[in-house]
Amino acid sequence: MRYLVVYAHPVGDSYVAALHRCVVKTLREAGHAVDDCDLNAEGFQPVLSEAERRAYHDVGANRASIAKEIERLTRCEGLVFVYPTWWYGMPAILKGYIDRVWVPGVAFTLRGGRTLPLLHNVTRFAVVTTYGSPWWLNKLIGDPNRSALMRGIRLLYAPTARTLWLAQYGMDDITVEKRERFLRKVERKLRDF
């Protein structure tokens, strides 16, 4: 299976960087082809320009500045996001990636006021993330991060796509042992995903 791993964290020696390395290594060891997209290292520009916004609904013209990223997205069968959750959401660079790459004609089409999915190539979608805050606080506010990805964006994939949500909550005060346990969990869950 061809996986696209989209990683968003600016610090190479962070715990999220360790999770990213674990994801890529596990998928490769399981025999999958992995396209490893490190948004920060690749210098991805997350800001939607005025010209891009004006061309957003013009299918064809909206691809001009992001053709490489579109090709990577439309070729993959499995997609994994690896990132820290900051302020109940994804880092700006990942949000900008979605804003700029997941355009009409690529991720969806609009017809009669309805959004119709186009990413039928994606049959596996996983998220590996961390939260500084505890699980209960995110549950209390409805976990907008998880809702956006697993209820909203997930609808753009193949109808039978399998999903996996792996989150380590309470990063602000967890032990090294808990961090290691979560790394092992990520490896175990992705091995057969």
Contact 131, 169 (CB under 8 A): yes
Mean predicted lDDT score pLDDT of the chain: 94
Domains defined along the chain, listed by start: 2-191 (3.40.50.360)
Per residue in 62-118, pLDDT (tens digit) is 998 899 999 999 999 999 999 999 998 999 999 999 999 999 999 999 999 899 999
Residue of 107, 113, 9, 91 whose CA lies nearest to 46: 91
Per residue in 170-187, pLDDT (tens digit) is 998 889 999 999 999 999
Give the Å distances, CA to CA, from 7 to 15, 44, 79, 99, 111. Answer: 13, 11, 11, 16, 32
pTM (2 d.p.): 0.94
- In this structure, what token pair is assigned to residue 112? 């009669």
What confidence score (pLDDT) does residue 94 get?
A: 97
